[in-house]
Amino acid sequence: SNPTLSEEVFGPFSLVVSCKDISEMQSVAASLKGQLTSTLIATENELKNNKALVELIASKCGRLILNGVPTGVEVCLAMQHGGPFPATTDPRFSSVGADAIKRFARPISYQNFSDSLLPDELKNNNPLKIWRTVNDQLTRDAL
């Protein structure tokens, strides 16, 4: 009932909310804003019997943790460190890991441009020798 307690806190902090039943748990979860992480402490049967609650909580966070706590963020391909607003300004992107660069990239297409007019990153001969994905294959080869 205190909206201030629903704000995300960074650092060592715990807030325990005691609910009388699943309906009250859903009400509390529905009132939350976007979070970087959410933790569920539950058995497999409890999760199976309360899928709607799990889905609701998953919609409120970028990383859903089962029977654990959020720890340091490993920089790896699988890491997702973001979440619905206000946890991040744009929930489509992670702020950590290989996909974090997408936060700063703006897609653009070059239609009907000859190879000589394209940016070096897009030229068929790959003059920068950068890694590119071509037909679902990672390559540095010229096309």
DSSP 8-74: ---SS-------SSHHHHHHHHHH---EEEEEE---HHHHHHTHHHHHHHHTTEEEEEESS------
CATH class of 3-103: alpha beta
Question: Burial level of 59, CB count in 10 A (0-12/13-18/19+)?
Answer: middle
For residue 15, name the pLDDT band (cuts at 50, 70, 90): confident
- Report pLDDT for 4: 81
The type of residue at 58 is A
Domain ranges of the chain: 3-103, 108-143
Q: What does the pLDDT look like over 50-107, one tens digit per residue? A: 999 999 999 998 889 999 988 777 777 777 777 777 777 777 777 777 777 777 777 7
Q: What does the pLDDT look like over 17-63, one tens digit per residue? A: 889 999 999 999 999 888 888 889 999 999 999 999 999 999 998 88
